[in-house]
């Protein structure tokens, strides 16, 4: 049986591919466990300097595997919902808080928790054939995978409520306009374009990128004065990195910096 999540690491870039194309990468237990483990592995490996998250086949990820879920509901009732704590929360946190950039290459439909994972990424580059749908209301569920946090920050609270209450397919052009996607590319170019973006980040100043992620997360729930304090602390960290020195020397010498990630 093929791995439900593929993990490839080359030159500082970990590519994590959801690999149940026959099920549109629906999140069954095996895939959720494998995805959580793959993200933790990438987060913990100091050699990994950026992560690319994508799906095999025609979908990015259609969210919870409802065919598996219906059986779990029959067996356990509401207790089947422990997967939120066991899987969705650690997966979303790993994407959003790992100290390195995560790029989502959205190759097709992203629904429910699948959309939530993409929204938690730092950068979304999507195929012109891709779409997003919140999907939760369609199965009489509230939000998970961080969507109550990410979606209003991406599109504003009013639009977030609209997309949750009236789930529909938000196609690529609208996704770009709303701020759900950063870039739309022809489907046939997505893999190469997304890899180029992610590889560029993997060759970038990793300490500074980690500090930026931390600063943005902090700023989202603190006052300006508190955030200024945090920025001062994080700027000291970035300023003390080898890559800061490399960058400044390269600037003065009009050369291209070759970052080390330290």
Contacts with ligand T3D by CB under 6 A lie at 23-24, 26, 62-67, 69, 80-81, 83-84, 109, 111-113, 133, 135-136, 138-139, 141, 144
Closest distance to ligand T3D from the beta carbon of 15 (Å): 23
Which residue's CB is nearer to ligand T3D, number 93 or number 141?
A: 141
Closest distance to ligand T3D from the beta carbon of 134 (Å): 8
Closest distance to ligand T3D from the beta carbon of 262 (Å): 38
Contact 229, 218 (CB under 8 A): no
Contact 132, 115 (CB under 8 A): yes
Which residue's CB is nearer to ligand T3D, number 48 or number 135?
A: 135
Which residue's CB is nearer to ligand T3D, number 137 or number 215?
A: 137
Contact 34, 5 (CB under 8 A): yes
Which residue's CB is nearer to ligand T3D, number 66 or number 154?
A: 66
Closest distance to ligand T3D from the beta carbon of 32 (Å): 9
């Amino acid at each position: 049986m093929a791995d439900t999540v593929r993990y490839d690491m080359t030159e500082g870039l970990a590519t994590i591919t959801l690999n149940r194309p026959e099920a549109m990468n629906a999140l069954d237990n095996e895939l959720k466990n494998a995805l959580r483990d793959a993200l933790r592995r990438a987060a913990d490996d100091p050699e990994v300097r950026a992560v690319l998250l994508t799906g095999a086949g025609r979908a990015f990820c259609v969210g919870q595997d409802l065919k598996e879920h219906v059986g779990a509901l029959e067996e356990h009732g509401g207790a089947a919902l422990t997967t939120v704590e066991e899987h969705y929360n650690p997966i979303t946190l790993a994407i959003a808080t790992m100290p390195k950039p995560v790029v989502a290459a959205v190759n097709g439909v992203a629904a429910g928790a699948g959309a939530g994972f993409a929204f938690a990424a730092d950068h979304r580059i999507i195929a012109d054939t891709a779409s997003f749908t919140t999907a939760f209301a369609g199965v009489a569920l509230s939000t998970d995978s961080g969507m109550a946090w990410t979606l209003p920050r991406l599109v504003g609270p009013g639009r977030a409520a609209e997309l949750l209450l009236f789930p529909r397919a938000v196609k690529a052009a609208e996704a770009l306009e709303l701020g759900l996607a950063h870039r739309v590319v022809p489907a046939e170019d997505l893999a190469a374009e997304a890899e180029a973006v992610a590889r560029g980040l993997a060759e970038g100043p990793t300490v500074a990128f980690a500090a930026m992620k931390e600063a943005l997360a902090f700023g989202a729930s603190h006052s300006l004065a508190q955030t200024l304090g945090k920025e001062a602390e994080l700027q000291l960290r970035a300023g003390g990195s080898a890559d800061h020195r490399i960058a400044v020397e390269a600037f003065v010498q009009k050369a291209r910096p070759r970052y080390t990630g330290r």
